[in-house]
Structure 1
């Protein structure tokens, strides 16, 4: 039986997260904007005004503070800050300064992501991460931003560096056959360069080479200006399991898409863990949800305890502090969303009690927003948005999360008699 009061560390960061392109709107100088407007497009629909956070940032921080959260992870857009190579827009930098100020004015810790999938169109046309100048260009951008912005506290250099590997089969599938070839021609015409200049289509060798080198160069540039800042990278990590006899399949997935990244960033100030689900490797070489398990509208398994399992694995392999920079539920069932948050945090608190060094949790997403190639269909937000009016609506799931965040843990005495619904694997992703 667990104690009735189970607390997280006193300085634990309770927050929510978004990405610039997904919420700001009209990021027209970026590669994703170009790809969204190609015809035919690999994107379901254009982002357009998104949820207009470019103009509503302060109002959104008022909502975040009102529901009791004390941290916000958001992205700054390289495409806005350096619209042409070597030309930095002070107006964009000043805008992001106002965003940071809006956080501090409400006692909110800003966690700023410098690169969240999108690139300036000029850089994508030059090959993106496949260009050997990419690490130096990213370091210059990081240096300029860090010198300009006051009040930075925690910085994520890049978001989900390993994502192109995880979605590679799906992404390449969009480009196969006659229809795929037509989409690729349209995409490359819109970009004015190869599709591999877009981050989501970056080939593996560029990720392991220029990508990870850019993280290191960016981190060092930030630290050279502000050595006190906490700097890390975020990775997309699933709870990798195996059916009997498929352990080698699972281990090959870890070796290809997870472990090399963890090994390269071990020793950073933190690793950003971004976990939504569990996937199970099969003896036939495939992987996916286990038969009979519930799945979300994204098609992956509804598995809240995956987060704790992943954090155990990351801590065991790297001995590096962890911030959960993304975790959430997609779907219209907001009652399930609230339960998902509660169950995820329940299992995470047990892992922390076992010695896993997790320093914060950021629910994805604060707002229902633009979900890249899937468009506006999937709903992750604890705040709903009527995009016709841009009106925000606090969902019950926000209040469920708020209750835990305000209390700093679980204080309902009835929890003492309730076992974990799904026990996280003690040894991690084994």
Structure 2
């Protein structure tokens, strides 16, 4: 029996825009609503977590879990530039206080993909001014709520824009054949509609009208990012960390990254080294004063002499098109630990499937890898499964089912899955193997 100690943080994660509903001041709300939208459907009420958060956290508590990672929505806190909404900060105070009442450790993310619409109009994530705007937002949240927050992730998947840039490059790369390369949904760890080239022109024209600006200047967090944008993201992180430590030095501060388990066949070693550098290693100079690192992993990529090798027809895939490979998590933790000697929190790990027994198996195998890493002396202090609830998977809408809890969106009724109880039993009793 492999047991996790009592202090180990185990639970589940959500993101505000994906679960709360009616995030009307955000850039994503705008992008979902425009004509020719690349989004399969709009988020609308999502799964109404904004109003049902107590019920949802209680379901987590009832099975024995002790940690909840969630994001505070910047577009709610600052719906227009410089105007902070006291009612909304009090909402998140209520969420945090409920966590503490239930002995649940809250891990708060300040930015999880969605941004205020006004921020994009001001230049978005390629604009120098965003550094100051994010600093001001962080200062307000931590000044108001910092005494209730033990852990803060400043930015979720800070490397996502770079990963999307590589995907877009592959989509538009003709390799001299005038045929664009096929890109699969499993190529990136986020709900991105990759069948989009022919629709993009109409979509961006509509976006330009909705944002009132040249669509070429619209820079959301999910836009392909330049090197300058990469710097801006990481300086946002540094400014937020500085503010947090100034206001409340006891808060543990980190950031999260989307990390694949990159594996090399003979001849693929250089590709793996390049991917590991681009995904993680080049960010290390910005992280030296962080307290922990958030690792987010869903699958692996295998590289040969020509680059990524696509899974063959017999490969077991998840509903998102990733290879079903729970062992990737342990491998990624080991890779990170070679370059990072502070605590690691698995801030996301999971799969989309219509068969919950696959999720149970996935969790067991992934957590076996986590436990092995801890036995090897790696300082892993927490694991939050993605996601607590079936939710809005960005451009792919509501079809993807990552959750430990199913939701009937016609009534917003919760239906806990066996995997929720299984994860709780692992926390209480350990792994069977």
Q: 1:278 aligns with which of 290, 294, 300?
A: 300
Task: State whether structure 2 residue 85 is matched by structure 1 residue 116.
Answer: no
Following superposition, the deviation at residue 177 of structure 1 comes to 4.9
SS of residue matched to 2:371 = helix
Task: State whether structure 2 residue 124 is matched by structure 1 residue 128.
Answer: yes
Distance (whole Å) between structure 1 residues aligned to residue 358 and residue 284 of structure 2: 31
Q: 1:380 aligns with which of 402, 405, 412?
A: 402
Distance (whole Å) between structure 2 residues aligned to residue 264 and residue 222 of structure 1: 16
Q: Please show how residues 46-65 of structure 1 align to structure 2 within 5 Å.
A: 46-65=42-61
Task: State whether structure 2 residue 389 is matched by structure 1 residue 367.
Answer: yes
Task: State whether structure 2 residue 176 is matched by structure 1 residue 157.
Answer: no
For the Cα contact (< 8 Å) 2:296–2:347, is it kept in 1? yes
Distance (whole Å) between structure 1 residues aligned to residue 196 and residue 96 of structure 2: 43
Q: 1:33 aligns with which of 29, 33, 38?
A: 29
Distance (whole Å) between structure 1 residues aligned to residue 96 and residue 149 of structure 2: 7
Task: State whether structure 2 residue 229 is matched by structure 1 residue 232.
Answer: no
In structure 2, stretches of 5+ residues that fail to align are 172-193
Q: Please show how residues 126-275 of structure 1 align to structure 2 within 5 Å.
A: 126-149=122-145, 150-170=147-167, 173=171, 177-193=197-213, 194=215, 196-275=218-297
Q: 1:78 aligns with which of 62, 74, 98?
A: 74
Call closer, same or farther: CA 1:290–1:270 in 2, change over 3 Å: farther
What TM-score, normalized by structure 1, do the two folds share? 0.91
SS of residue matched to 2:148 = coil
More moved, 147-156 vs 173-182:
173-182
Size of the alignment, in residue pairs?
A: 407
For the Cα contact (< 8 Å) 2:127–2:229, is it kept in 1? no
Call closer, same or farther: CA 1:395–1:176 in 2, change over 3 Å: closer
Distance (whole Å) between structure 1 residues aligned to residue 313 and residue 231 of structure 2: 37
In structure 1, stretches of 5+ residues that fail to align are 416-430
Distance (whole Å) between structure 2 residues aligned to residue 179 and residue 384 of structure 1: 32
Residue by residue over 1:134-181, the C-alpha shift from the partner in whole angstroms, topping out at 9 and shown as x without a partner, is 111111111110111141111110000111222335457569755321
Q: Please show how residues 11-22 of structure 1 align to structure 2 within 5 Å.
A: 11-22=7-18
For the Cα contact (< 8 Å) 1:52–1:390, is it kept in 2? yes
Which residue of 2 is the match for residue 392 of structure 1? Answer: 414
SS of residue matched to 2:155 = coil
SS of residue matched to 1:148 = helix
For the Cα contact (< 8 Å) 1:276–1:307, is it kept in 2? yes
Call closer, same or farther: CA 1:319–1:287 in 2, change over 3 Å: farther
Q: 2:329 aligns with which of 282, 289, 307?
A: 307
Residue by residue over 1:203-234, the C-alpha shift from the partner in whole angstroms, topping out at 9 and shown as x without a partner, is 13234211000000001111110100011001
For the Cα contact (< 8 Å) 2:25–2:79, is it kept in 1? yes
Following superposition, the deviation at residue 289 of structure 1 comes to 3.6
